[in-house]
Structure 1
Amino acid sequence: MEIRMPKLDVSMTEGTFLGWLVPDGSTVAEGEPLYTVGTDKVETEIPAPVAGVLRYGDAETDTDYPVGATLGKLED
């Protein structure tokens, strides 16, 4: 499953990827905090949508990405 930049409010078109909260290759549980996203209004931790093994993508910390951009993935 791809991990994507979420849409945190109706007007959001991009967000700042602030970094991963767990190491690459870690097994994570559904609902476990996975990464942090910032907007001009809020910084928030985004939970894992499913359980799996985290694989970092090409997302760089403190970089803006459009909503829906792939940041990494969770493998079975």
Structure 2
Amino acid sequence: MEIKMPKLDVTMTEGTFLGWLVPNGATVEEGEDLYTVGTDKVSADIPSPAAGVLEYGPVEEDETYPVGTVLGILHT
């Protein structure tokens, strides 16, 4: 399952990836916070949509990415 840059509001077209909250390769539970995204209005911790093992994607902290960019993979 792809972990993508979310759309936090109707006008959001991009967000800043602020970092992972769990280590690469960690087993996570559904609802556990995975990463933090920032916009010019808000920062939000994004929860896991399912249980699985997290694999980081090729994204850098404090970089801005379009909504829908794959940030990582969740192996369920």
Instruction: Report the TM-score when normalising by structure 1.
Output: 0.99
- 5+ residue gaps, structure 2, are none
* Alignment pair present for 1:64 and 2:64: yes
Matched, 1:32 2:32: yes
Q: Provide the rounded CA distance (Å) in 2 between the counterparts of 1:63 and 1:51.
A: 26
Superposition misfits of 4+ residues, deviation over 4 angstroms: none
**Alignment partners' CA distance in 1, 2:74 and 2:50:** 8
* Distance of 1:66 and 1:52 partners within structure 2: 25
- Following superposition, the deviation at residue 12 of structure 1 comes to 0.1
CA distance in 1, matches of 2:46, 2:66: 16
Cα separation, 2, equivalents of 1:54 and 1:41 = 28
CA displacement 1:13-63 (0-9 Å, x = unmatched): 000000000000000000000000000000010000011000000010000
Q: 1:71 is matched by which residue type in structure 2?
A: L
RMSD value, Cα: 0.4
Q: CA–CA distance in 1 between the matches of 2:6 and 2:26?
A: 21
TM-score computed with the length of structure 2 as normaliser: 0.99
2:47 — aligned with what?
A: 47
Identity %: 71
